[in-house]
Chain A
Amino acid sequence: MPVIVRGNGKTWQKRASARQWSIWFGWLLLAALTVYCWQVMTKDTIWAFVQDAPRQAADLASRMVPPRWSYIDKLLWPLWDTINIATLGTLLGILFAVPVAFMAARNTTPSRTLVRPVALFIIVASRSINSLIWALLLVAVIGPGVLAGILAIGFRSIGFVAKLLYEAIEEIDETQVEAISATGASRAQIIDYAIVPQVLPAFCGISVFRWDINIRESTILGLVGAGGIGLQLQASLNVLAWPQVTLIFLVILATVFVSEWVSAKVRQAII
């Protein structure tokens, strides 16, 4: 939206301000960068495969339906494992996230120069690494199985829960804290009486939200051997048993819908 500047009685000139030019230049730069990245990315792409994709998709679809319903009895136990991975992993994550959050929040940290940076690093490290990568590492370290999945979900949850929780702690009403400290309360008592009541609803909401996400993530951890329904998915993909894959997708979809519904209900009840 270039600004039209009209001189006093003189001929008009049409020129956007310097800021406007820099904005246009920024967009241009973004477009150029995108095109460049596109070229880099598709350097090795075999376009024949891409053109072939609709036919592949149709072929895949024809092989995927109908789902092999009888396979369901092999999925129930892995499904139970999946839910356990998500739930126990969430609990584990919360257990570590709470102290980390209190150490990271500006108003509750024991030391701003020593403890807070460490807590913030734990949060960013845990958040940057996806639970599937955590699972990949843990399977290599402690062997395949449900335990690796629980730990992977737990490690990933620490950063998520701690980040949202410490932001909630930093937003509390300080006058309530002041009032409790004025009674002569100790640090632990101030946290218990002035801070916990204020952040408890946010904490419950965050935990349930993370549990919902964890249900989604735990369904695929089996791809790298960390237990749950993903193991069946990996096995079926390896033998190209597409009707089984379809059924697994449907089961995952149903689980995700149920968990989303549960988490929405619980969050409603809390607020």
Chain B
Amino acid sequence: MSGVSSRARQWTRPPVLIKSDRLRWSIYAGALIYLVLAISSVDINPARIYEGLERGWRFVQGFLVPDFTSRWSDIQQGFIESLSMTLTATVAGVLISVPIGIGAARNISPTAVYLVCRTIIALSRSLQEIIVAILFVAMFGFGPFAGFLTLSFATIGFLAKLLAEDIEDIDESQTEAIRATGASWTQLINYAVQPQVMPRLIGLSLYRLDINFRESAVIGIVGAGGIGATLNTAIDRYEYDSAGAILILIILIVMAAEYSSGYVRKWVQ
């Protein structure tokens, strides 16, 4: 405790987050014990790591001097699959998300619809993209179609949830005013809700497009098409210069997407 009241006028900094001394020290002790246990359970093989350093250096070299040419047709095919998958999945995902998002907004939807839509959202959010991809590959076979389904499904959980939260946050007086004119439910959505949430919906869709592209580079590892499969092969074959080329292209596309989406968002506002 601080010594404000004591005669000698000592002062120590009062604790910032946790006021109780005992609780604070037991949390510190618990964290320390956990860290010791966790770190000691990591088995580190120095010989293997030393051996790997040389490979790591080769990868850094591959990244600095990438090789775009020798696997270009594979890389091209991978990126075409990834990009087409990303766009179609985002469009499909947004189209499905909008009705679900409206349904999941408490202030404009009946309770039964609300519960169903919230369940769909929770299901989509709790399942990892990779796990969904494994299941879809098992059902639909290898290739970008399974990837398309995976990304669409993942988009629903993300977009519908944020859209629903947005609709719940809208200005109630505007809905009230439109309702007072005797508008039907669809007119209400069109006149009171849509103008308020549209800019953010577009912003979120662009953001999801960006996420979907990054995910499309991953789900290929479990067989759902796209650049991930190409990357996986390149690394398996120890072709680090081709892998470096793929990673550089991914970074560039993500940067371009981020930059242009900022521009579009400003334009929509």
Contacts and interface: CB of A to CB of B under 8 A. Distances in A.
A111 to B, nearest CB: 21
Contact of B128 (A81, A88, A140, A219): A219
Interface residues of A, number: 54
A49 B131 CA distance: 20
Interface in B1-50: 16-17, 34, 38-39, 41-45, 48-49
Interface in A38-61: 38, 40-42, 44-46, 49-50, 53, 56-57, 60
A87 B38 contact: yes
B131 A252 contact: yes
Label chain B's interface by main secondary structure. Answer: helix
Contact of B17 (A44, A125, A133, A270): A270
A81 B128 CA distance: 18
B250 interface: yes
B116 interface: no
Interface stretch (A7-15, A93-101, A144-152, A165-173): A144-152
Given A141-B56, A142-B52, A253-B126, A237 B134 contact: yes
Contacts of A127: 254
B46 to A, nearest CB: 10
Contacts of B49: 142-143, 147
A249 B17 CA distance: 36
Given A124-B254, A130-B215, A252-B131, A142 B56 contact: yes
A16 interface: no
Interface stretch (A29-37, A66-74, A182-190): A29-37
B59 interface: yes
Nearest to B225: A41
A129 B241 CA distance: 16
Given A57-B139, A128-B254, A130-B215, A150 B42 contact: yes
A132 interface: yes
A80 interface: yes
A53 B131 contact: no
Given A46-B141, A60-B135, A84 B217 contact: no
Nearest to A37: B84
Given A133-B231, A270-B17, A84 B148 contact: no
Nearest to A125: B251
B84 A40 contact: yes
Contact of A53 (B134, B139, B218, B221): B139
Contact of A45 (B38, B39, B143, B243): B143
Interface in A198-232: 200, 216-217, 219-220, 223-224
Interface string B137-156: 01111011100100000000
B128 A223 contact: no
Q: How large is the interface on B (under 10, 10 to 19, 20 to 34, 35 or more residues)?
A: 35 or more
A45 B138 contact: no
Interface stretch (B66-74, B85-93, B97-105): B85-93
A75 interface: no
A253 B48 CA distance: 33
A140 B88 CA distance: 33
A136 B238 CA distance: 11
B130 A220 contact: yes
B83 A84 contact: no
B42 A146 contact: yes
A228 B165 CA distance: 34
A41 B85 contact: yes
B235 A136 contact: yes
A165 to B, nearest CB: 17
Contacts of B120: none
A257 interface: yes
Contacts of A50: 140-141, 145
Nearest to A127: B254
Contact of A124 (B38, B51, B143, B255): B255
B91 A34 contact: yes
B145 A41 contact: yes
A49 B140 contact: yes
A164 interface: no
Contact of B145 (A45, A81, A128, A216): A45
A256 B178 CA distance: 42
A132 B218 contact: yes
B64 to A, nearest CB: 13
A56 B38 contact: no
Contact of B232 (A44, A53, A136): A136
10 contacts: A37-B85, A37-B88, A46-B141, A49-B141, A57-B139, A124-B251, A130-B218, A136-B232, A137-B59, A253-B126
Interface of B: 16-17, 34, 38-39, 41-45, 48-49, 51-53, 55-56, 59, 80-81, 83-85, 87-88, 91, 126-128, 130-131, 134-135, 138-141, 143-145, 148, 214-215, 217-218, 221-222, 228, 231-232, 235, 238, 243, 247, 250-251, 254-255, 258
Given A34-B88, A41-B148, 7 more contacts: A45-B144, A128-B255, A133-B218, A140-B235, A140-B238, A237-B134, A253-B127
